């Protein structure tokens, strides 16, 4: 399919899901990872702007959805100490250090059926 124009984030996701299915594969949508910013309570809170869009598209298209955003925030706030969380991020508050991503604690965020 050839698409021209500018679309919303949700429209692009719908296009991707349709193209993946057209190629015979099964799509899976994941929320974006959490950002480092902490609230006044000192906790990292899930961002909901894109997560809600992704979840709505997943429901609309009948695609499995995994909310990594909430899962990561839960791990950061309840499992890891703050020094470890600070280590994982670069200064831009979004990207994780490449050497930290493959470590077992972050891999443990994946549901077990993904890792098999």
Given a contact cutoff of 8 angstroms between Cβ atoms, the answer to whether 95 and 87 are in contact is no
Report the predicted TM-score, pTM, of the whole model to 2 decimal places: 0.63
Given a contact cutoff of 8 angstroms between Cβ atoms, the answer to whether 17 and 61 are in contact is yes
Decide if pLDDT at 106 tops 70.
no
Q: How far is CA 41 from CA 15, 38, 88, in A?
A: 39, 8, 20
Percent of the chain at pLDDT > 70 equals 60
Residue 62: predicted pLDDT: 96
| 33 closest CA partner among 111, 102, 94, 97 | 94
Q: What average pLDDT does this structure show over 36-59?
A: 81
Decide if pLDDT at 33 tops 80.
no
- Rounded to the nearest integer, the mean pLDDT of the chain is 75
Q: What average pLDDT does this structure show over 34-61?
A: 82
């Amino acid at each position: 399919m050839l698409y021209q124009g500018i679309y919303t984030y949700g429209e692009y996701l719908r296009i991707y899901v349709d193209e993946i299915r057209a190629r015979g594969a099964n799509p899976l949508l994941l929320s974006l990872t959490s950002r480092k910013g902490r609230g006044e309570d000192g906790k990292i809170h899930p961002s909901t702007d894109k997560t809600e869009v992704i979840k709505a598209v997943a429901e609309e298209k009948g695609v499995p959805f995994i909310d990594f955003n909430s899962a990561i925030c839960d791990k950061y706030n309840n499992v890891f100490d703050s020094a470890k969380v600070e280590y994982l991020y670069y200064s831009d508050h979004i990207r994780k250090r490449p050497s930290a991503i493959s470590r077992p604690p972050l891999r443990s965020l994946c549901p077990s059926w993904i890792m098999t």
